[in-house]
Amino acid sequence: MSNIKDNHTFTKEDRKNMELAIKLAERGRGDTNPNPMVGAIIVKDGKIISSGYHRQAGLHHAEIEAINNSSQSLESSTMFVTLEPCTFLGKTPPCVNEIIKHNFKEIVIGCIDPNPKVNGRGIEFLKKAGIKVKIGLLKNKIEQQNEVFFKQIKTGTPFICCKIASSIDGKLATKSSDSRWITSERSRMQVQDLRKEYGCILTGINTVLNDNPYLFPRKNIEYSYKNYDSQKCYRVILDSNLRINLDSNIVKTSNLAKTIIFIDDKNKSKFTGKIKKLEENNIDVLPVNKDIVESTGLDILKIIKILYKKYEITSILLECGPALITSFLKRNLIDKFVFYFAPKIIGGDSDYNMFTSLGINKIKDSIDLRFENIKRIGSDIAITAYPLK
């Protein structure tokens, strides 16, 4: 629907107010999925009189929280909100109705909501009610803040981020598979926050067999199931031949986090007993075909589709070995990388380089990245990068 222009002019004070709304929205990171992060502030007579943000999916949206937090009349005030107010009844009532009820003078919107149920309708509702609407303030910043939401709404596919922790020479582990711990405690603690942002953590069976991980967000760095940070976070394992051990940490903690194991369809009848035991432990075992391009792996595109359609998983965090990372990369499925480089050199030939062969012989054919953020974390360096597709 949206063909609304966002070529309005904004003052320095407008930008300051929207920056504050963006900071408020950030407080919801990791808790709002599948909804976007949204922040709102209300200004009257040049002063901020109220604010709010979307705290969690199913709770009040930012606009309603800001309205409810106000102790004075909102008539003739201005609301700054990072995303267009909704117009449909979901888990909460439409925000535009409540905004109109309070006789706001003006609504300044960061960017249009791409959800087909909204997509400009909220703006039209507000204008028809006689409220002045300005759009597009810090639009790019807000879209990047909600990159997961925008990707899955626009494409109908999950946003995929790949986390890689390595030595400075690009090794994920030593030749003997020893990887604990390459990076510092501070980096590993930041990974727990990263995990909270995604709908599932996906890995391959080799990582499970080598590391015996828990694969869920932890409250602190102690490596224990007791530190599970409760939330709706799926664990997804690609295990063609169902090699997972029944006494692994994944199986032992299946009551804490929903777990999905994908196996080769041809192996389903071979492992009926083991599948039954896993299903008794609240683990879904799903057969899929082999990949038509790489016969050694499962059909990744089919797996992604199942995760999105059946489980409503809108974002995936890859924490896996080089072969699986490379399979995703070859198919241009990775939207974002988060690298953690430790000041360590492992050297030598190893099966644990970041990537396996990509078949690239010339520099002009290399996969280019855009570095978005580079920072020190303790003794490590963290780099956020996006493939230039």
What value does the mean pLDDT of the chain take? 88
CA distances from 104 to 66, 97, 172, 308 (A): 13, 12, 55, 38
> Tell me: the pLDDT tens digits for 174-232?
777 767 788 888 898 888 889 888 999 999 999 999 889 888 877 655 555 555 555 56
Q: Once rounded to an integer, what is the mean pLDDT over residues 10-34?
A: 93
* Local confidence band at 6 (pLDDT 50, 70, 90 cut-offs): low
Tokens, residue 375: 């920072």
Residues 297-301: contacts with CB within 8 Å, 24+ apart? 297/238, 297/240, 297/323, 297/324, 297/327, 298/238, 298/240, 298/262, 298/263, 298/264, 300/327, 300/328, 300/331, 300/333, 301/331
* Local confidence band at 372 (pLDDT 50, 70, 90 cut-offs): very high
Is the pLDDT score of 350 beyond 70?
no
Gap between the Cα atoms of 243 and 208, Å rounded: 9
CB distance 291 to 324 below 8 Å: no
For residue 112, what is the enclosing H or E element?
none
Residues in CB range of 370: below 8 A, 6 or more apart: 385, 386, 387, 388
> Tell me: the pLDDT tens digits for 238-291?
999 999 999 999 999 898 889 999 999 998 889 999 999 999 999 999 999 987
pTM, two decimal places: 0.87
* Local confidence band at 117 (pLDDT 50, 70, 90 cut-offs): confident
Output the CA torsion sign for 232, 298, 320, 250.
Answer: positive
pLDDT in the model for residue 349: 72
Tokens, residue 1: 């629907």
* Local confidence band at 7 (pLDDT 50, 70, 90 cut-offs): low
Is the pLDDT score of 52 beyond 90?
yes
Cβ count within 10 A of residue 57: 15
13, 19, 26, 63: the active-site residue: 63
CB distance 317 to 194 below 8 Å: yes
Residues in CB range of 128: below 8 A, 6 or more apart: none
> Tell me: the pLDDT tens digits for 334-345?
999 999 999 998
CATH class, range 157-387: alpha beta
Gap between the Cα atoms of 25 and 37, Å rounded: 5
pLDDT in the model for residue 185: 85
According to DSSP H, which parts of 270-357 are helical?
Answer: 272-280, 300-309, 322-330
> Between 35 and 89, whose confidence is greater?
35
pLDDT in the model for residue 366: 86
> Between 256 and 163, whose confidence is greater?
163
Gap between the Cα atoms of 303 and 310, Å rounded: 10
| Three-class secondary structure of residue 35 per DSSP | coil
Gap between the Cα atoms of 373 and 107, Å rounded: 32
According to DSSP H, which parts of 62-184 are helical?
Answer: 62-69, 95-101, 121-128, 139-145, 147-155
pLDDT in the model for residue 219: 63
CATH architecture of the domain with range 12-150 = 3-Layer(aba) Sandwich (3.40)
pLDDT in the model for residue 231: 59
- Of 144-158, 161-175, 225-239, 278-292, the poorest mean pLDDT is in 225-239
Domain boundaries, the chain: 12-150, 157-387
Is the pLDDT score of 323 beyond 60?
yes
CA distances from 18 to 44, 66, 325 (A): 15, 14, 37
CB distance 96 to 70 below 8 Å: no
Is the pLDDT score of 295 beyond 80?
no
63 in active site: yes
CB distance 82 to 39 below 8 Å: yes
